[in-house]
Amino acid sequence: EPEVTQTPSHQVTQMGQEVILRCVPISNHLYFYWYRQILGQKVEFLVSFYNNEISEKSEIFDDQFSVERPDGSNFTLKIRSTKLEDSAMYFCASRNRISNQPQHFGDGTRLSIL
């Protein structure tokens, strides 16, 4: 069964550095999402992406964050200048349409900011 893949599985970065988290969504999917989950807390929506542009973003997704779909397969999340509070699991998800179809999640990237 096709799945969403994310790399790296674990990223350790110094505060203030830039990080890029990578995702390969399921190939025929059109809608893409990033979520994060701080340890012990709920899964939180960050941003959605459709037709090569952001559809919606949450308050968490400030100017330090950006997303890109540089080619037909990858979907990336960039954090320009990381802060300690950015430490979390970051999940990518995709779906082929909004109506009555679930999102399929990757296994996440654990981001640790030192």
The DSSP code sequence of 55-112 is: EEE-TT--TTEEEE--SSS-EEEEESS--GGG-EEEEEEEES-STT---EE---EEEE
Residue 99 sits in the site that holds other proteins (CB under 8 A): yes
Stretch that binds other proteins, among 14-22, 60-68, 77-85, 90-98 (CB under 8 A): 90-98
Does residue 75 bind other proteins (CB under 8 A)?
A: no
| Residues 35-54: x where in contact with other proteins by CB under 8 A, - otherwise, as a string | ------xxxxx--x-x----
Interaction between residue 87 and other proteins (CB under 8 A): no
Residue 33 β-bridge partners: 48, 93
Q: What is the CA radius of gyration of the chain?
A: 13
Report the first-to-last Cα separation within the chain, whole angstroms: 37
Q: With binding defined as CB under 8 A, does residue 29 bind other proteins? A: no
Taking CB under 8 A as the rule, does residue 55 contact other proteins? Answer: yes
- The answer to whether 25 contacts other proteins (rule: CB under 8 A) is no
CA–CA gap between residue 1 and residue 107 (Å, rounded): 15
- The span from the CA of 45 to the CA of 11, in Å, is 20
Q: Which is nearer to other proteins, 4 or 77 (CB)?
A: 4
- Contacting residues toward other proteins, per CB under 8 A: 4, 31, 33, 41-45, 48, 50, 55-56, 89, 91, 95, 98-108, 110
